[in-house]
Amino acid sequence: MGTEVKQQLVESFETHPDAYRHWSLSFDGPVARLALNIDENNGLRPDDYLLKLNSYDLGVDLELHDAVERLRFEHPEVRAVVVTSDMPRIFCAGANIRMLASSTHGFKVNFCKYTNETRVGLEEATSQSGQTYIAALNGTASGGGYELALACKEIYLIDDGTAAVSLPEVPLLGVLPGTGGLTRLVDKRMVRRDLADLFCTKAEGFRTRDAVKYDIVDGGFPRSQWDDGVAEVAAAAAARNPARDEQGVVLPPLVCQVDESGNRTYQHVTLELDPDGRTATITVKAPTAPAPTDAAALRAEGANTWGFKAFRELEDALLHLRFNHPTLGLLLFRTSGDRYAVMNHDAVLHDAKGDWFADELRWYRGRVLRRIDNTSRSMFALIEEGSCFVGTLFEIAQACDRQYMLEDEDGENLVQLNAANAGLYPMATGYTRLQTRFIGDEDALARALAADGFIDAPTADELGLVTMALDDIDYEDEVRIAIEERASLSPDALTGMEQNLRFVGRETCETKIYGRLSAWQNWIFQRPNAVGDEGALTLFGHPERPTFDWKRT
């Protein structure tokens, strides 16, 4: 039997509220309302599936991600966000099963990763921006629908005798709640693990009374009091957050030239593809315009300031690589331009800490850097003549698996650290990338952070800031051999190795979602019990029951 599996290409990762097909965004003073009413005929592959019962695909999540980012930058006055549905008696049925069954394995995994990153964005908007997200479940929320609710600070379920919340993936589909459900249930909401076990294996889930009793939701209102109850909750949440009467910063669409080979050229970033060598090169260029003079000038530049636009372009390039170029297994990061200009732009942003836009911009850059951390590709930083791996751009180098630095004759190939490397952009673990690099060696970390001014290749090597510092006689051959060797290794083994080595030390809710839950879901998505011809995901909605291989491994 089975379902035809198709490769999914994503033409654009950008959208705008005027173009939303599945969400509506409205405002009432400090309270915003994000409402699902999914157009079932407008999925990314409309010929393959219908988005029934407010089920979602990547297109729905692209709109959600856009809304969350715009709320933070364009609407700083918003202090609470109500996430609800305009479809009667249904909040969200989760990820569309037909979409999952008909997608390639890689697309399913990347879809779950992107969705997880969007959910984390909701949580960060609550904790960082003072925009409290409230899930107002006007009907049943199952699977990914309840996982979306779990990303909100508060969850309220309508008490009408029929609405329920559930995580039915294990009993119905033979897979896991892949967007953080298991982890958020016990690590975030602190649900007792035996009750979480009961909930996750009870396909029909819990209605309001039991959901409140077991802390699956925070409360409920009968249908006759629903609108007033949600409004009171949202108003109270908005009142708890400090008011912000600021002018927002508009996010314009990115401008990118794409050639016939798929290479992408933005203003500050280029992406060059090498399918034969299975590599891609991302180059980030230093600013050419002077840095703004202060926080007010930074706000005036808004989305056009280098430190914002370059990272928006970098994020877009990373997403295109993730979804559209799965065989390019090694990313080579380069930089070019005036290193002093990078440091000057960094200094203005970092000195403006406490200004709402500077804070939002800094947090956004942190999110993009964590997308690099989560990229399931090998990554080398090539620090060569004309590079500007300093400050925030040196964080990109530190996110890479290796750093190769050219020791040039005139000693002009230099790196430099600043506050960006000392804690402004933590990883999902809460550690900085330098702390992760020098895990367990506080002296080495202290020596690196104490290095003042520009650092040449031999010193960077001595401090442990690069993997290798090579002279111009050896550099080209050593790097070429390293690239060819890396591209020849098993991509499966490399993904497992890299994810284990990148996230060292303590675990957080976020690292468990990406490192533990995503890894298991990745494996389960390939197992016959889920996706074989007689697997649970394949046969969902068919009269036949799945046939399981009962061996535990």
- Tokens found for residue 47: 């010929």
Range list of H helices, 389-452: 392-399, 433-437, 442-450
pLDDT at 553 over 90: no
Structure tokens at 546: 């799945």
Cα 181 from Cα 141, distance rounded (Å): 12
C-alpha 142/C-alpha 7 separation (Å) is 27
pLDDT band at 211 (very low <50, low <70, confident <90, very high): very high
What are the beta bridge partners of residue 103? 6
- pLDDT > 50? residue 447: yes
- Angle, helix 58-74 to helix 105-128, in steps of 10 degrees: 20
DSSP letter for each residue of 217-234: SSEEEEGGGHHHHHHHHH
Instruction: Pull the structure tokens for residue 395.
Output: 């964080």
| Domains annotated on the chain, with CATH | 17-240 (3.90.226.10), 257-500 (3.90.226.10)
373: confidence class by pLDDT, cuts 50, 70, 90? very high
Distance CA 241, CA 244 (A): 9
Mean pLDDT of all residues in 213-241: 98
Confidence of residue 518 (pLDDT cuts 50, 70, 90): confident
Report the percentage of the chain scoring pLDDT > 90.
Answer: 88
Q: Which of helix, strand or coil describes residue 455?
A: strand
d(CA 17, CA 302): 19
- Map tokens 């097909």 to a residue: 21
- Determine contact, residues 64/117, Cβ cutoff 8 Å: no
pLDDT tens column, 122-150: 999 999 999 999 999 999 999 999 999 99
Q: What is the mean pLDDT of residues 462-472?
A: 97
Q: What is the pLDDT of residues 407-438, one digit of tens each?
A: 988 889 999 999 999 999 999 999 999 999 99
> What dihedral angle (degrees, nearest 10) is formed by the CA atoms of 492, 381, 315, 422?
110
> In angstroms, what is the C-alpha Rg of the chain?
24
Pairing between β-strand 206-207 and β-strand 164-166 as defined by DSSP bridges: antiparallel
Terminal Cα-to-Cα distance of the chain (whole angstroms): 26
pLDDT of residue 9: 85
Residues 6 or more apart from 20 whose CB is under 8 A from it? 63, 66, 67
pLDDT tens readout for residues 267-288: 999 999 999 999 999 999 999 9
What angle (nearest 5°) sits at the alpha carbon of residue 412, between those of residues 411 and 415? 105
Instruction: Determine the pLDDT at residue 379.
Output: 98
According to the 3-state scheme, what is the secondary structure of 87-152? CCCEEECEECHHHHHCECHHHHHHHHHHHHHHHHHHHHHHHHCCCEEEEEECCEEECHHHHHHHCC
What pLDDT shows up at residue 1?
45
Whole-prediction pTM value? 0.95
Alpha-carbon gap, residue 451 to 437, rounded angstroms: 16
The per-residue DSSP string of 496-549 comes to HHHHHHHS-S---HHHIIIIIIHHHHHHHTTSHHHHSTTSHHHHTTSSSPP---
| Beta carbons of 103 and 152 less than 8 angstroms apart | no
Q: Distance between CA atoms of 303 and 301, rounded to whole angstroms?
A: 6
Residue 104 to residue 318: CA distance in whole angstroms: 19
Phi/psi for 296 (5° steps) reads -65, -40
Burial class (CB in 10 A: 0-12, 13-18, 19+), 208: buried
| 548 DSSP 8-state letter | -
Distance CA 38, CA 40 (A): 6
Mean residue pLDDT across the chain: 95
* Cα atoms in the Cβ-side hemisphere of radius 13 Å centred on 254: 24
pLDDT per residue over 41-91, tens digit each?
999 999 889 999 999 999 999 999 999 999 999 999 999 999 999 999 999
**pLDDT confidence band for 541 (50 / 70 / 90):** confident
Task: Please tell me the predicted confidence (pLDDT) of residue 3.
Answer: 61
